[in-house]
Amino acid sequence: MELFNVVEMLQLAEKPLYWVGALTTVSLVLWLVYHILSGFRIWVLGNGDLLSPKLGKWAVVTGATDGIGKSYAEELAQRGFSMILISRSQEKLNDVAQSLESLYNVATKTVAVDFSQVDIYPKIEAALAGLEIGVLVNNVGISYPYPEFFLHIPDLDNFINTMINVNITSVCQMTRLVLPRMESRAKGVVLNISSASGMYPVPLLTVYSATKAFVDFFSRGLQAEYKSKGIIIQSVLPFFVATKMTKIRNPTLDKPTPERYVAAELTTVGLQEQTNGYFPHAVMGWVTTVLAPRCVVTFFALRMNKAQRGGYLRRRKLR
């Protein structure tokens, strides 16, 4: 009798379990198809002619004389934008401006300021006055000279102020200066260059990681506020790119040149509000935020940065 009851219960449960399994399978297939189609739309088809001077004649790039910032300036100039280049060195600004004018026959303006200072924004505002700005790239940023424990960072008080002024204040203030005219025209694009280090805490780069997390949250919050007004505000979170700041000399598939990274990233504008900008980086972002537990990512980041710190300190002693 007991065996009969068990068999009867299993028979009763068979049909509901079948439908649970079927619905689960269908859901997984639909999820997979959606993500494959979305990935094809983003990484293969791209956004077409979205980024063009139809948004506004001028594009502004901060940190425009090296690395990713210089590549953004070159790519946008190639698309026909007149360029406003903002960085610290007037000599480097002149070199980049002359190159863009020669190669792409576009107008340029330069503004030499030190983003570690907070009294620079009236000068920038005056330089931008009356210009129809279609794109703003908030790229300027600084990182640690080498990974270090918070209390062991040399000249910590000045380091904190400089990091916040360059990585956070610049993004807020430049957006404040440019956004009102974009809002009045109901079009414009703001690209805020954060970092994959802002996707999770990175020990021994803690202040840098935290400032880049701010840029990401700031961007996503503003996008929610201004999306309905025709403005795109995108958070860009690259992993390693072969630039002077990262000290990577030899590009690889997962560590692209700035030119390769920027060309890929610009195809995601309007398609992703938060992006790693480059397909291999998108895969790395998915692995480190979805598959891997946060504690595991933090553990390996700490381990890697301790090794880099030790190597840096040993080399400094040998000099």
Per-residue model confidence as pLDDT tens for the chain (319 residues):
455 566 666 566 667 766 777 787 877 888 888 778 888 888 888 887 899 999 999 999 999 999 999 999 999 999 999 999 999 999 999 999 999 999 999 999 999 999 999 999 999 999 999 999 999 999 999 999 999 999 999 999 999 999 999 999 999 999 999 999 999 999 999 999 999 999 999 999 999 999 999 999 999 999 999 999 999 999 999 999 998 888 888 899 999 999 999 999 999 999 999 999 999 999 999 999 988 999 999 999 999 999 999 999 998 887 6
Evaluate whether residue 294 is within a structural domain: yes
Question: Token digits for 196?
Answer: 């994959």
The pLDDT of residue 11 is 64
CA distance 124 to 122: 5
What CATH number did the domain enclosing 219 receive? 3.40.50.720
Is 104 an active-site residue?
A: no
Give the residue carrying structure tokens 């201004």: 226
CA distances from 239 to 9, 43, 190, 242, 257 (A): 54, 17, 20, 10, 12
CA distance 214 to 225: 16
Evaluate whether residue 205 is within a structural domain: yes
The pLDDT of residue 37 is 84
Q: Which helix (H) or strand (E) holds 287?
A: none
11-59 pLDDT, tens per residue?
A: 666 677 667 777 878 778 888 887 788 888 888 888 878 999 999 999 9
Evaluate whether residue 11 is within a structural domain: no
**Measured in whole angstroms, how far is the alpha carbon of residue 168 from the centre of its chain?**
13
Measured at the alpha carbon of residue 174, what is the angle toward residues 173 and 175, in degrees to the nearest 5?
90
Q: Which of 24, 266, 305, 31 is nearest to 149 (CA)?
A: 305
The pLDDT of residue 4 is 54
The pLDDT of residue 34 is 78
Tell me phi and psi for residue 168, to 5 degrees.
-115, -55
What lies within 8 Å, CB to CB, of 35 at 6+ separation is none
The pLDDT of residue 72 is 97
Question: Token digits for 222?
Answer: 């503003």
What domain count does the chain have?
Answer: 1
CA distance 292 to 289: 6
What lies within 8 Å, CB to CB, of 50 at 6+ separation is 269, 270
The pLDDT of residue 247 is 81
Evaluate whether residue 36 is within a structural domain: no
The pLDDT of residue 119 is 96
229-251 pLDDT, tens per residue?
A: 999 999 999 999 998 888 888 89
CA distance 311 to 299: 19
Inter-residue contact 236 to 194 (CB < 8 Å): yes
In the three-class reduction of DSSP (H, G, I as helix; E, B as strand; rest coil), residue 2 is classed as helix
Annotated catalytic residue within 144, 146, 208, 226: 208
Measured at the alpha carbon of residue 219, what is the angle toward residues 84 and 139, in degrees to the nearest 5?
35
Measured at the alpha carbon of residue 202, what is the angle toward residues 196 and 204, in degrees to the nearest 5?
135
**Measured in whole angstroms, how far is the alpha carbon of residue 269 from the centre of its chain?**
11
Evaluate whether residue 18 is within a structural domain: no
Evaluate whether residue 35 is within a structural domain: no
The pLDDT of residue 12 is 65
CA distance 234 to 230: 13
Domain hosting 194: range is 43-318
CA distances from 143 to 6, 17, 117, 167, 302 (A): 65, 54, 16, 9, 16
